[in-house]
Structure 1
Amino acid sequence: MSYAICRMEKMKGHALKGIQFHNQRERESRTNPHIDPMKSHENYDLVNSKKIDYNKRIKEIIERQKVGTRKTRKDAVLVNEFMITSDKDFFDRLEPKEQKRYFEEAHQWFAERYGEQNMAYATVHMDEKTPHMHLGVVPMRDGRLQGKNVFNRQELRSLQEDFPKHMRDLGFDLQRGEKGSDREHLTTQDLKAKTLKEKVATLEKEIGDKEHSLAEKREHLTDLKQSLDHVKKVDQVAFKEGGLFGHKTAKLELSEFEGIKTQAKLSESLRGENRALRRDLEETKEENTRLKDDNQHLGQENKALAHENRFLKKTLSQLKEVYKDRVKDFSRTVGICKAFVLSKLEGRLPEKCFADEQEKEGARDFLQAKKEKQQEKAIHRDRDQGMER
């Protein structure tokens, strides 16, 4: 039985444009060799009738429901993207209408659970080896963006139980993934690599079984040849001329004659079985060759995925370094601004540095509050020292 696969990834603002390019096939992918551009026209979106701007669409969903005036944090998770799929054998067993119904029912279930208004996109890819859907859910609840509360650990565990059960109830032959398995937490590339490794292992086992079967058939052929050699000994039976008109006849004991008859019948049967076994042997050889070719192809795909994974990790590392420098620059700028403001407040700068009286008055209030806070800390410190004595 096939597994229901439902994986989630958290997407922040900086990732939306790249996800948009991938999901809507806006640029040619250089890292995913599994995309067949000739089939990309078969892709569809269950939420949007045409291509959209992910940033604009998601911000519209947030602003439409948001209460209060507080701005969304720049590092907030804006959308939780689920990849809904199963294995290739599952989809091969379904008619095209049933494949589409699978994704439609999955989308409807998520819409009812997390709100139709929070569905940003539901893009189905039919141009890769296994059909799958990228479903974007904006984690809005009670007028606030709160991904940690909407998709906490308990909810994700419940989802892994409820989703396969719901799809089974609709007639799809699926089961839940293994409990405690790391399959639920793998990235897309790791999942593909893991699936390929499992398929390679399966093919290697099939090749081993075929080779074992081939060895058995060869052994059986050897036995048949020995049996045929035994039948050929009939030609060695001595004969002599005899009878009324001098015909050439063979004089045999009755038991020998019956044995020859049995061997003759067996010979015909063995020849037929021999021909059948030879055909099976040729078919097994062809199947073995095909399996080895598939295994080699999967090995190449596995290498491609590993290369892609290394490239993505390297890119991520470079991005971290870039943002790390930017954070340092920002912190340095804040420090300079803070030093400048404090200098103004403490009177180390001329009053002309203040824009107006209001700014000057605000500076005085801030400085007074700062002094009071320092005095309060000093009082507490003296009190604590007195208690220690």
Structure 2
Amino acid sequence: GIVPFDDEYKLSAKRVFNRAALQNVQDQLPVYLRQHGFDVERGIQESQHKSLTVPEYKAMREDLKKVTLQKREMQAELEDARKRLAELKPRDQQEIESKPTFLSKDKVVVRKSDLHDLESRAAVSDIYNQQQNRLKLDNQSLNYQLLEVKDNNYELSKKNE
């Protein structure tokens, strides 16, 4: 505790704690604390950096929560799509029976059931691939946003300390 008496033994915080005195305390206190076993560092001297207000800090925390939530939702959606793809029964290891056509060497004839199965699998696969690509891009974007917000949050936390 400190009682701010000036040289004339008058109680006066305004005369004792001027800018120069406070800077002197900020310079000497970390040295004293290090000598007594504390791991502290002096802050940045004469920093022109402005501290955040409480509403600004809370807004940053809310942004961080939103981005984290969006990332979780995207990951859940991707996992859902993977489960739906896995639910498709794997085809038997048998090859699809095909016969060459009479007039064209590049075409074959297959059973309707095999053709329908292949078409449905191709459609699901296309949808899955589109979703996966979109989710990858969204996930990359959200990861970038999350890193920015975390970095900003870390800097702000350090400044507030």
TM bucket (normalised to shorter chain) is 0.5 to 0.7
CA RMSD of aligned residues (A): 3.6
Alignment pair present for 1:275 and 2:133: yes
Letter in 2 for 1:220: E
- Calculate the TM-score normalised by the size of structure 1: 0.26
Preserved CA contact (<8 Å) 1:234 1:260: no
Q: How many angstroms does 1:228 deviate by? A: 3.3
Distance 1:224 1:289 in 2: 26
Distance 2:101 2:153 in 1: 73
When you count strand as a share of all residues, which structure comes out higher?
1
Gaps of 5+ in 2: 1-13, 20-43
Structure 2 counterpart of 1:199, from 44, 56, 73: 56
Count of residues paired in the alignment = 118
Preserved CA contact (<8 Å) 1:238 1:250: no
Gaps of 5+ in 1: 1-13, 20-29, 36-128, 130-191, 304-389
- Calculate the TM-score normalised by the size of structure 2: 0.55
Preserved CA contact (<8 Å) 2:71 2:139: yes
Report what 2:48 is aligned to: 34
Q: 1:230 to 1:251 in 2, by over 3 A?
A: farther
Higher relative contact order (CA 8 A, sep 6+): 2
Letter in 2 for 1:225: R
Q: Deviations over 1:266-290 (max 9, x none)?
A: 3223212211210110111121111
Preserved CA contact (<8 Å) 2:64 2:149: yes
Alignment pair present for 1:251 and 2:111: yes
**Identity among equivalent pairs (%):** 16
Structure 1 counterpart of 2:96, from 207, 231, 239: 239
Q: 1:231 to 1:271 in 2, by over 3 A?
A: farther
Letter in 2 for 1:208: K
Preserved CA contact (<8 Å) 1:207 1:291: yes
Q: How many angstroms does 1:232 deviate by? A: 7.8
Structure with max Cα Rg = 1
Q: 1:207 to 1:236 in 2, by over 3 A?
A: farther
Preserved CA contact (<8 Å) 1:211 1:288: yes
Preserved CA contact (<8 Å) 2:101 2:109: no
Preserved CA contact (<8 Å) 2:60 2:153: yes
User: What aligned pairs does 1:280-319 form with structure 2 within 5 A after superposition?
Assistant: 280-303=138-161
Distance 1:274 1:235 in 2: 26
Q: Deviations over 1:312-339 (max 9, x none)?
A: xxxxxxxxxxxxxxxxxxxxxxxxxxxx
